[in-house]
Structure formats: C-alpha cells, structure tokens
Structure 1
C-alpha cells in the first residue's frame, strides 16, 4: 500500500479507503453498487464512495494512462463520454504480489449498457433507435478527430432522450485523437461498428433476449446508412445559383433540426459570380440543449430540450407574450409549468427517470389520454394518470441498486 500512486486532476481522499490490495473481482459486497455491467474484456466494478457511484476497471498501467488522457481530452471537447477521475498504480497484495492498475471513472447516472436494455423482450424498432444513437455518437466523435478503433454497443452507454436514446462513449482504450480523420480511419470505424453490432445482436438472439424474427444484418447495416447520411449533411459542399441564397438558410435549418449549430460557413462564388458554394466549417451538436440551458439553466439531453422548447413556445403563445424577452417568459414557464409538473410526481418515484424525461413522458401521456377521451385533459389529471399507470411500473433508471442485469426490466413502454 505504501507504493500506491494516484494520478488525478483532483484527488478524492475517499479513494484511499477502498481495498486496493485486493483483486477487483474479490472486492467485498459492502463497497459495491450492484449496477448492471456490460460485457468487458476487463474486470469492472461499481463502487459507492462519498455519496457517488464510481466505475473501477482493472487494466494494464500503460493502457490505463492512455485511456485516462483520451477521456480527459474528449471531456475538454464536450464529447459525449464518461468522465475520468483517476489512474491508480502500484497495487500489491499483502503478500507482495503485484496487481493490475485501475482506471476510475464517474458512473453516468440514468445510463444503461445495451444488454440491460435487452434483458427482457425489446421490439426491433427500439433496437433501431439504439443504432441511430450510436451513429450520431460516432459522427460527433469523428468530427472532433477521434478515431475510436473499437466501436460496439458494448463500449457504449445509453440514456433516454425524449423517447429516443442518447449514446455515450465508455471505453477509449484504443482511441486516438487526430487533427482530422482520414476517410480510411472513418471507414474502418464504421465497418467495425457494423460487424460488432451484428455479432452482438446475434448473441442476444442466441440468449433469447431479442426476437429471432429481427433481421440483425439489416439492423447492423442501419448504422452505415444513418452515419453516411448524417456525415454528408454536416460536411458536404452544396452549390447553387446565386439567386437561390435562401438555400443557405435552409441548409442551416436542416443542421439545426439535426441538433447542430453552425458556427462558421465557408461561402465561395465562381468566377462569374453566378454559382455559390456553401460548406459548414464548424458544427457542434447541442443546438437545442444550448438554447434551453441559456433560457432556463437546465442541463438536459438534445431531444428533451427540443420538446421543452416546443412546450415553452406554446406557453408563450397561450399567454400572448411573443413580444416579451424570452428569458423572462422561460423563467415563468419553469415556475408555472415545468417545476409543478415534476413536483406533482410522488417523491419516491421521481428518481425513476430524469426530470426532463418525466416531463416529456407526461406530455406524451397527456396527449394520448386526451385523444382517447376526446377532451383536453388538464395537466394535474395527466400527471396522476401517468404516475399510476406508467411510472409506477417503471424500473429505477438512476441506480438499479441491488439488482442483477438478469432481473432488470427492459426499458420499453
């Protein structure tokens, strides 16, 4: 223990209390949080420490430092990835036997590995939404110059995002950050993603966790189609007649609809000035996220932010406040709509989903029962109905403490 070394941007003193002299697979139950774990080539455990849940992965020293630095770099670029906390080396048993180093990361709350999502029957279209989320993640990483080198569902965590899913990188062992990626690097990542996804879905079918009628080849091919269409929309050069300058705005709007902001455009004309070419130069994901963050201070997922902005705009129209400053209207919307809706859910059930996801699902449920009953159901009634008929039967997505992966209900309405 005297040789133990902790490398961290900010050392958490409570880390010293963990049994580093014991192999990770033998750690006692009283320090572990029984969260669902994905498939990993390394031993991974979740631990409860100082009111937080951390992920600890036993790994070689060189690889641990490499992954730690890659994750830190991704964090500085606001990439969707887990947050690294420390690398711990110099571990030995009381008998002097050397133990592998470990990488410690923060557990991403409300996230689940794909096998937990499939632990009970899941529809093929939901599998498609996971693939869509992974494709968006891969495009975002490639735009940042990150070559993954090991793209798979197993190396990804998923969080709900207003009925869809948001994907996060959780394993960066083979990753490399470059100024720009070559077409060959992107192609290799994409082909690896397709191959791994097909294999993982076949494994689920063999374990009777995915319906045998699902065409896993077609689902695997979906990531290629989704990735290539999104990459083209974000990067291709578009040419048009100079009289059609409205197409610049249309291009920006399409990018915004995909959740991207355009920070800079390269616009050129030909010699005669008759043809204009446009190419986005800086595109960042999170267009709606940044809007809702600026207006309300809420840090939510992209689709959740889009849904919240739609409701905020409806509130603005209903209260006839289109001419007022949006920040003041958003403040009142928080006090009069969003916060009361979330607080109307019994406290013991609020931890089942993130507040923004609860709000989204209440709106969905209100629309559904209003259609059923052919009347405008009040929000208070909709919250009661949603709580009793939907949320009460949901698993706790924040922690899943004290439950094994096999016992987790699939996240499907």
Structure 2
C-alpha cells in the first residue's frame, strides 16, 4: 500500500491527548512525531478532529453461517467501520454452532474472504464438548464463550460439573453470559399465566430479572475464584452485580473482569414504552438506578470494557408478540457516536472511552499489536469529528436488517475516517471495496 501521512491529528491515547502527525506504511504505524514531511506520500489532513485507536468490540453476533437473513460477516463488519470499530470478536451461537475446531476454522475461512474489519471468534462451550475444547490451542481464537443463561441459539450450559471442568481445563479467557435459568423460567411462567404469549415488553426486566443476573454472575465468579480460571463477565446489566468486581489492581493482574454494553448505558426501563421489542435484549435493560450504577462502575474501573453485543434481527421478527420476538439489536455503527454524546455531556472523558473500547480489550484478550496508537503497531485508527451533528435514519443505517434502536436520535459526533491495517476503509460515508482485514493474533505464553 505504500505510505500515507495523517497530518494535524489530535491523538487520544494512553490517558493523554497529543497534537502530532502519523505516518503509516503498509499495515503499520511507522512514525509518530510533532511534524512529519514525506515525499510522494498521500496526505490526509484531519485538523480539528480526534484520532483514536480503532475500537475493539469483544462481543458481536454477525449471524453467519446459517442466520444470514439477519446479517453476514460482510454486511455487519462493513457497518462496524462506519462506527469506528476496526476489530471484533464474534460469538458462537450461529447455525451450526461454533462448538468444534472444524466449525471454528470454517468461520475464520468465511471472514478471511469477506470481512472488512479484523476478526476473531469465540469457541462455544456446551454440556458435552469438553474434550474438543481441550484440543483448542490457547492462541487460536479470542476465547471461550459460555451461555450460563439461555439466549438466541439455545446454547445453555447448565451441567454444574461440566462448567467446573471447563473452568479447570482452559487457559483462555472464559466469557460468560450470566443469567439464572431457573429464576427466568419461574418469572416467565408467572407472566404467561396472566398474559399468555403477548406479555407487555415492559415486564422483560422482571422476567430476566436483576436477581437472575446476580445469582448467576456471583456463582460464576465464586467458581472462577475456586478454580483460578480467567473469567470475563459479559454485558453486566445491574447495579448489584458491579459490587462483585475489583478496581484496586491493574487490569493485567485481574483474573475476573467485566464488560458493559452501550444499550445498558443508554436506555432504561422507561424506554420500553416507546421502543418496545426493539430494545428487548438478554440480559434486559433495567432501571435508571441500575444504569447510573453501571456508569459509576465503568468510570471507577470495576467494569473494564464497553462493547456492543451487536445482535441483529429482522424488523419482522422484532414485531412479533413478546414470547416470539427475539432478543438483541444492531449497534456496531452507533456505539461510538453514542459514547461521544456522553463525552459532550461531560459524563465520560475521551481518554476513558479509548481505554474501555480499545486499550482494555487488547490487554484483556492479549491481542498482538492492536488497541494503541504506537509505532510498530497495526494502523487501526478512527478519526472523529466531535462537532458535526447528524440524525440516525433509514437512509444512513448500514446494517443488513435496516433498522436501529437509535433511529431519530441526534448524535453530536461522527466517524469521518476508519483505517484498517493502514488502509483507508471508510471516509465520510463512503466505504472502500478493498478489504485489508486480518485475523487477530494473540500473545498468550
């Protein structure tokens, strides 16, 4: 690809802001300096804009293979570029499920041919694939995923002995969806007795309750402490759960970490009245008090990562009655603009956004040469204009499903450029048709 020079960048990196130029060569950041002059080099002047490390989304559902009416690796990774996401980790609840090494490598093959952003996948643990999991090389993929509560794809792992064996038999990060299935079933039957299948969606956070979340996550954390496993709790949704995590040691020393998703930071239960099933997620969006406590835990470092849990469904599916409407929604294009709105409101510093969306995922999953703006690192960069308002609408949504829970929302900031391994993959609404994505690699000794 040769060289490309980014001039007049306001770089946000490692808890500091720096005015500088960035010289890219082929896939990498070659040089960072206060002023760089390069001959016969393409120059992109980003004066007045911020340059951030590309966001690393540790939890997405891109639906391929088998559920491609909702989305594909190509369509959703392309949408991710418009949201400043340059790398993602995709989940195993596809059709077929990613629960064997062969199926894992098949997904890597699809991504190698079609992905617009850097990629890895999580290997799904089940009640009966422990021996296959033991064969998995610890650097093969981003980690292991356990559904300790049922969700899309019916990959529930509920055999306590098997769960403990999984915790004892992998060195990889175990990412867990934590909701207690027994509690959820009892709550669901209670409301079905009153409403049948057409339960008002505002009862969703009472069915997938705070108690169900806390019971499951606290048990998983207790087991991680008992076994010494490396546990990462996905999409924490309650204030009570935040008390389970530490902020008194550096991230590199943590054995138990936590993630929060953008929808749990943005919406609350009052939004079910207007959004309905469009904001039906598992775990459920809960109270404004829960949301406030999630923000507190994010800002004081009990919660380590912000992700999307991007999980598209067709609008037709979402319009079903409660018990038939799937949980999940599309978010990769709009998560960073939503966080930047919160920056404008004074809720979170830019440096903290970068830490939670880029630095920490790279540290937590031990990703090679990504997540930071450093010489010698891959040139995954996002340029944002924090003073360019725009409204989310059908004409500017890039998800295959064609809708967003943020429709009608005005964001104050937009992603103007996204670089993937030094290649300008997205610029002011225009996507490059050239793919320069790579399989994420890991440094786990």
TM-score (norm 2): 0.23
Comparing both structures, which one devotes a greater share of its residues to helix? Answer: 1
The structure in which a higher percent of residues are strand is 2
